Amino acid sequence: MSESCCENPQLQWESRRIVDRFADVLACANCRRTHKVEDWAISLPLPMPEQCVNCGGDMRVDTSRSRHGLPERVSACASCGLSGKATRKLHRKLARLHPSGEYLQAAEAASDGGRTVLAFKLATAHLAYVEDHPRARILRIRGLEALGLVDGALAEAWQWFDEGAPSDVLGIIAGLEAARGNLEGTVEALERGLQIDPQNIDMWTDYAEIQAHLDDREGALVSAGYGLGDPDLKQRCLEVVATIGERFYAEDRLEAALEAVNRAGKAKQESVSVSWLTARIAARLKQWEESQAWLEVTLKLDPQHVYARQALERIKPRESKRGGGWFGWLGGTGRDGED
């Protein structure tokens, strides 16, 4: 399946809808050649006991079958025709694609590999045959989203929430609302989630980004504060701090800009955006040593930062003379001074 198709093959899985079936398609991102198509029926709704795990159709007793000449009552899907037994067999076979042979582990592995439809199918099987498990629920919701069925994903996430899902699901709902472009719904879901789980720093970080987008500056800075100590969220929170600080800076409100960047505390030194802004604020306040120090931090984080390098070259002689004055780089354009 990895035969070469072009000079620079980049094979990756993507999911596609093919009429009423869904497929994991292995295609080359470079030349667009399709290498493999695995298409499946899937159960879009969570299958209820009398519904087909394979396709979501209704299970009916099929009286036309016989075994050893005797009529046999077999429950079969009115839609795909598979019996309950055949459906179970099919899914067991799919689970065995993973060394563990377990539905959920196989589903996780399929999802990690980009085989969204297979992951969806296996997660559904886990829910139907084994147990209600949050990871399986999330894989289904993520799968629906990846298949472009955002409304279906939202409906399933809300249904789960109503059944008593962990509050994290509100973060997922917020993301789905955002994907639909429903900002109000996003905010509402996050606020509800944070009410239930005020320590959820993932949700605080999502909330901070939305508040920044809505220009709720104080709210954004407060919300961003929660994730600053978390290695996975820190950079996103620092970006929020920098965004708000830049707005104050652009309005010449240097005190407010400085206060904003100082909210980042020690983490200031870990963000190019924040350190570069801090350097410019210090220069505007004629604190040359401070500015130089932050330019050096910026360059340490990003040695390719042309504006910071140019600024440092100009500030050094200036600093030694303790002079003041206006530099063009303060506006962040990197051009020479205009006044």
* Residues lying near Zn ion in the complex (CB under 5 A): 5-6, 9, 28, 30-31, 52, 54-55, 57, 77, 79-80
CB 144 → Zn ion: shortest distance, Å?
Answer: 18
Give the CA distances from residue 4 to residues 30, 38, 114, 329, in Å, rounded to whole numbers and listed in that order.
11, 19, 20, 50
CA-nearest of 121, 180, 123 to 150 is 180
Query: Given the complex with Zn ion, which of 28 and 165 has the nearer CB atom?
Result: 28
* Separation of alpha carbons 236 and 33, rounded Å: 36
Cβ proximity to Zn ion: between 6 and 196 the closer is 6
Q: How far is the CB of 76 from Zn ion (least distance, A)?
A: 8
Question: Nearer to Zn ion by C-beta: 124 or 271?
Answer: 124
Shortest Cβ 42–Zn ion spacing (Å):
10
Contacts for 63 with CB less than 8 Å, ≥ 6 apart? 71, 73
Nearest-angstrom CA–CA distance, 311 and 141 = 49
Distance of CA 104 to the CA centre of its chain: 21
Nearest-approach distance from CB 27 to Zn ion, in angstroms: 8
Contacts of 88 (CB under 8 A, 6+ apart): 53, 129
**C-beta closer to Zn ion: residue 120 or 161:** 120
Q: 90 vs 222, which CB is nearer to Zn ion?
A: 90
User: Least distance in Å: CB of 1 to Zn ion?
Assistant: 13
